[in-house]
Copies of this chain bind each other. A is one copy, B any other.
Amino acid sequence: MPDLENPATARGRKRDPNRDVAILEATIDVLAEVGYDGLSTAKVADRAQAGKGTMYRRWPTKTDLVLDAVAHMKAQQIDLEALPDTGSLRGDLLALFQPHEGAQVDRVLRAMAGVVSMISQVPGLAETGDYSIFEPWIAANTVLMNRAKARGKIAPAADVALAAQIIPSMAAYRALILRMAIDRDLLVRLVDQVVLPALSEDSVAASHS
């Protein structure tokens, strides 16, 4: 986070908050293109039409910049306060994926791929886990499924924690390994043939026999 000066002492030209988001967005772009190690501060500055001094005044190191950029990206993704409520779990799950533009999703997933290499280089990063784009998505799935369970639409003993990971993990696999985004057809097949059956009454019963 860029540090704010004490307003009482502030005298000269003020920092342009516009520059913050421009640099952050440029960081995401470069990260998606060449990964964390391929990302140089010069490239980011060039892309953002910013001077390196402007960047280093805000973020003391490259790692801080990338971490903040990822957090910025995460904040734009899923709003846990405004989840869809279509009446059916199936509709909710499909709607959760709906609003995002295809190209935008692709950009985010590629950036996530770039972060993977950072995990093994920045010590202590793997433990916090707050770099992952998929985590809020899993949280959203969990909320939707628990709501369906409360409404009696799925089995009371259903393993929500497990089911909520299915679609995000598939998305992660495709993004990081296959370098492809999930399309709508695949999403529908996952919901109908995998996720919903896993939550249904008889599947849960069968696994306990």
Contact = CB atoms under 8 A, between A and B. Distances in A.
A37 interface: yes
Interface string A188-209: 0110111011101011101100
B162 A35 contact: no
Contact of A117 (B35, B202, B206): B35
Interface string A92-131: 0000000000000000001001101101110000100100
* Interface SS, A side: helix
Nearest to A170: B169
B206 A120 contact: no
Contacts of A56: none
Contact of A192 (B110, B168, B206): B206
A193 B189 contact: no
